[in-house]
Structure 1
Amino acid sequence: MSRILFSLFILCSIFISACKETPKEIIITEIKVEAPFEMPAIKTPDFSQCEKILITDFGAKQGNKEATTKAIADAINKANTIGGGVVVIPEGEWLTGKVHLKSNTNLHLEKGATLLFSENPADYLPAVQSTWEGMECFNYSPLIYAFECENVAITGEGELQAKMDTWKVWFARPKAHMENLKILYDMAAKDVPVEERQMVNDTANFRPQFIQFNRCENVLLENISIKNSPFWVIHPFMSKDVIIRGVKVFAHGHNNDGVDPEMSQNMLIENCIFDQGDDAIAVKSGRNQDAWRLNMPTKNVVIRNCLVKNGHQLLAIGSELSGGVENVYMENCEVEEGAKLNHLLFIKTNERRGGYVSNIQVKDIKCGKIDKGVLGIETDVLYQWRDLVPTYERRLTPIKNISMKNVKAADVQFIARILAEEEEHVENVNLKNIQVDTVRETEIIQENVNGFKFE
């Protein structure tokens, strides 16, 4: 009997030991989001039961970029290998190069932790499959990059910060940079394979995004702070089931949009603070022939309870919208008094874009002075591209079913300005309970609009 009991004890010990060593898996939860359209539940990863993996256990050292970059990569590899892990950045400042996430990984910054990203472009090589203003190409790696991943997160109360020494010089976009833009535009228009669009050279100077989730699923960004950015700050590209919650962004450089959902679906952006040099939230869907080829609209995006301290627009749609944009709902957002802002909602496109815009709803918004207006819709926005490159194929953009209600603003140039094409009228715009203290010029300006209501 004693031998049997002893054997059972040994077996139990082995079983318990194995259980301790077996990593606990990620839990996938579904978040139901209320919206005035059919909004699928958003799948999101829960890492609360997963192993915590300290980067210091892999040799990370403060002030040592090479050691910390390698340690983060090794910790991410372990999290991915065991099927789920939390890569912990502890308190302190950690200088690093690029961070490439893998599936089933949560990059977690503890309170008081700063992950400081190098200003050296060489640290973001080799080039990766990325984008530039709606066109696919191989470029410098985004500072944090995930490609074809699932169950990825960046969380915690720490800060992600970009050193700007080089990137701010590249803001200037000199002639050589613009010539490289023309080359990429031509390659995209002619459907040159993406792997042949190599845009890292001595003169292109295409700045990388800070965070890009490229073709990812089940993505969570929560509670982190982000300071400075070479280019767009948070860029979900061709991704599904994305939650951005409680994130604070301060980035006042050129093209520093806060969040750019592009050809992405089923997204929630809530409880965030944006202090931007460009649009706070810019919903995009690819540029021209590239987006027609990829054929993935941006849809089912809910934005709520956000504060904007500065930015060009509270919510922009376009101008890269060639894949189509539908079902975008914003509610209960505020623009801080004294913020510099052009529009609350600005929909912009041009004769090259095609695509479509449908069912954009905005309600319960408060703001102070606006340089332009509550609503702007313009269909001839080309900026520097007007004379830089030709129109290879002309496709207009149908825009319909736009509504804004319960908006309070102090001082505006106009309430709504809609400038559409004679060949493609804007359809069904409904403004209700728009309260404005002062209109500096004309309340309503409209060209080629069918079904405009102002109540």
Structure 2
Amino acid sequence: MKRTIYMLIAGCATLLTVITSCHLSSSEDVWEAKASLEQRIVEPRFADRDFVITDFGAHRGREQLSTRAIAKAIDQCHEAGGGRVVVPADTFLTGAIHLKSNVNLHLEEGAVLLFSTRSEDYLPTVFTRWEGIELMNYSPLIYASEQENVAVTGKGKLDGQASDQNWWSWCGSKRYGWQEGMPRQNSARDSLQNLNHREVPPRERIFGPGYSLRPNFVQFYKCRNIALTDFTIVNSPMWILHPVLSQNITIKGLTIKSIGPNSDGCDPESCKDVLIKDCYFDTGDDCIAFKSGRDHDGRRIGVPSENIIVENCLMKRGHGGVVIGSEISGGCRNVYALNCTMDSPELDRALRIKTSSSRGGVIENVYFKDVKVGTYNEAAVRVNMFYEAPGDYMPVVRNILVENLEVADGGKYGVLIRAYPESPVQNFRMVNCVINSVDQVAKADHVKNVKLENVTINGKEITSEVLTGEGN
């Protein structure tokens, strides 16, 4: 019955496609809308006050925790009306850091915040999301909940110290150091998903000690006016930057390196008005992935990720450069990615959309322009509605524009699309694209309203029929 209902919803969505696509009917309209969006994403400003953590008893070096000293500096800064909590040039060991409104955690050049690898240093548990599901779990390494005007800035470094000897092994893979008798997240992950499907209230989903669900590195939950600028962040337990249900976010000038399991570089989830600019990604999973909750939780909360700009970023290793999904049940819309460079034999895809009928959700208005790719493994453009096991919630993917994409040395496919016959990928357009050296031009099923203009793959101009049936 549920599947029938969601098929009807997908059908209604199809009838509305023309209305939706008309609102940005040309490339000029698209990029004018992007420029307007960028003007309203404004970085928070902070009072001209400094609270240096060594003045509150922070210990230099790798041996003694400075967690309490950093918390004292944050509290006093917050109570004074805001300012900068300054980490001076040196190395400081810490557990979880919880930011408060009007506080800018500022890392001086040469400063290193080294995060403990002891799980007990991320207790008590906090209300968080783990792979798109709400629960009580270990605190993210840097966390804020329901705060305004918060930032991490400066040219220092955040080092999560994750490796095969600690957090990464929890994923349960021998590739990342797991051995018999070590903690393993598999059963906890299944238990959390079961609680999600049973609609158990999120605050009653209590995990933490004994469950081995790795914390995210940086998470802002229900926050407004966020800035993450200029620093380097390495060796994350899993997802690296993870704002959730937050608005007005600037992520700029970061260097992000973490090649462990599930080390997504940046995962805005159910967020609005986001700018990701001038960043470097070298990751063990997707470089940037937009999300909006998994299965029941995503539908229950029902908040899409929307109004997002990715500009002038460099992507190296990763499962995808710019990605939407797979925890996308709340939907995603209005994504503008432009002037990016991607290049690594360990990069699988440039633009990737992944969902399933267990997820559902509407993904629409995705614009990808002026992207240069050296090499990749699988496909330059990939849409997959069969990412996980099927369910009763038909996904919708529509209104995709890929413009001025240049690929020097492609992988298996130029374009790879898998969709449901009752919910084809709709309004798919490629303009002025050149893709070289792929094994197969395209493989696609169930696409509708396709338009290819001046698209060359392997030296030959490709027509729309390649995606709509002929030439597959």
- TM-score after normalising by structure 1: 0.87
Equivalent residue number for residue 282 of structure 1: 289
1:362 pairs with 365, 368, 376, which one? 368
- The offset of 1:227, in angstroms, is 1.0
1:145 pairs with 124, 139, 143, which one? 143
Equivalent residue number for residue 19 of structure 1: none
- CA, structure 1 residues 172+67, in 2 after alignment: closer, same or farther (shift >3 Å)? closer
Alpha-carbon distance in structure 1 between the residues aligned to 2:62 and 2:73 = 16
Partner deviation per Cα, 1:361-392 (whole Å, 9 max, x = no partner): 0000111121111111110111xxx4xxxx7x
1:336-347 map, 5 Å? 336=343, 338-347=344-353
- CA, structure 1 residues 299+65, in 2 after alignment: closer, same or farther (shift >3 Å)? farther
1:334 pairs with 338, 341, 357, which one? 341
Alpha-carbon distance in structure 2 between the residues aligned to 1:44 and 1:157 = 17
1:111-150 map, 5 Å? 111-150=109-148
1:168 aligns with 2:174: no
- The offset of 1:444, in angstroms, is 2.1
Alpha-carbon distance in structure 1 between the residues aligned to 2:184 and 2:236 = 22
Conserved 8 A contact 1:411-1:440: no
- The offset of 1:171, in angstroms, is 2.9
Partner deviation per Cα, 1:118-154 (whole Å, 9 max, x = no partner): 0000000111111111001111100000111100000
Conserved 8 A contact 2:248-2:274: yes
1:367 corresponds to which letter in structure 2? V
Count of aligned positions: 411
Conserved 8 A contact 1:210-1:232: yes
Alpha-carbon distance in structure 1 between the residues aligned to 2:63 and 2:200 = 37
- The offset of 1:34, in angstroms, is 5.9
Equivalent residue number for residue 194 of structure 2: 186
Equivalent residue number for residue 9 of structure 2: none
- TM-score after normalising by structure 2: 0.84
- The offset of 1:43, in angstroms, is 3.5
Alpha-carbon distance in structure 2 between the residues aligned to 1:193 and 1:253 = 31
- CA, structure 1 residues 304+34, in 2 after alignment: closer, same or farther (shift >3 Å)? farther
1:260 aligns with 2:267: yes
Alpha-carbon distance in structure 1 between the residues aligned to 2:102 and 2:32 = 27
- The offset of 1:66, in angstroms, is 5.4
Alpha-carbon distance in structure 2 between the residues aligned to 1:67 and 1:395 = 47
Tell me how large the CA RMSD over aligned residues is. 1.7
Gaps in structure 2 of 5+ consecutive residues: 1-30, 454-472
Alpha-carbon distance in structure 2 between the residues aligned to 1:51 and 1:176 = 44
Conserved 8 A contact 1:256-1:277: yes
Alpha-carbon distance in structure 2 between the residues aligned to 1:67 and 1:194 = 31
DSSP-derived class of the 1:182 partner: helix
Alpha-carbon distance in structure 1 between the residues aligned to 2:399 and 2:150 = 34
1:1-20 map, 5 Å? none
1:349 corresponds to which letter in structure 2? T
Alpha-carbon distance in structure 1 between the residues aligned to 2:379 and 2:78 = 48
Alpha-carbon distance in structure 2 between the residues aligned to 1:275 and 1:195 = 34
Conserved 8 A contact 1:297-1:326: yes
Equivalent residue number for residue 356 of structure 2: 350
Equivalent residue number for residue 249 of structure 1: 256
2:323 corresponds to which letter in structure 1? A
- The offset of 1:445, in angstroms, is 1.6
Alpha-carbon distance in structure 2 between the residues aligned to 1:37 and 1:399 = 24
Partner deviation per Cα, 1:159-189 (whole Å, 9 max, x = no partner): 0001224102213268963222221112111
- The offset of 1:446, in angstroms, is 1.4
Equivalent residue number for residue 25 of structure 2: none
- The offset of 1:410, in angstroms, is 1.7
1:214-225 map, 5 Å? 214-225=221-232
Equivalent residue number for residue 461 of structure 2: none
1:199 corresponds to which letter in structure 2? F
Equivalent residue number for residue 317 of structure 1: 324
Conserved 8 A contact 1:65-1:97: no
Conserved 8 A contact 2:172-2:184: no
Alpha-carbon distance in structure 1 between the residues aligned to 2:424 and 2:196 = 28
Alpha-carbon distance in structure 1 between the residues aligned to 2:32 and 2:259 = 32
Equivalent residue number for residue 58 of structure 2: 60
Alpha-carbon distance in structure 1 between the residues aligned to 2:450 and 2:257 = 37
Alpha-carbon distance in structure 2 between the residues aligned to 1:43 and 1:37 = 13
Gaps in structure 1 of 5+ consecutive residues: 1-32
2:76 corresponds to which letter in structure 1? K
- CA, structure 1 residues 248+103, in 2 after alignment: closer, same or farther (shift >3 Å)? same
DSSP-derived class of the 1:380 partner: coil
Conserved 8 A contact 1:251-1:277: yes
Conserved 8 A contact 2:171-2:186: no
Alpha-carbon distance in structure 2 between the residues aligned to 1:206 and 1:365 = 35
Equivalent residue number for residue 217 of structure 2: 210
Partner deviation per Cα, 1:274-323 (whole Å, 9 max, x = no partner): 11111110111111110111111110000100011221111111011100
Conserved 8 A contact 2:65-2:92: no
Equivalent residue number for residue 298 of structure 1: 305
Alpha-carbon distance in structure 2 between the residues aligned to 1:208 and 1:66 = 22
1:439 corresponds to which letter in structure 2? V
1:295 corresponds to which letter in structure 2? G
Equivalent residue number for residue 4 of structure 2: none
- CA, structure 1 residues 176+166, in 2 after alignment: closer, same or farther (shift >3 Å)? closer
Alpha-carbon distance in structure 1 between the residues aligned to 2:257 and 2:272 = 25
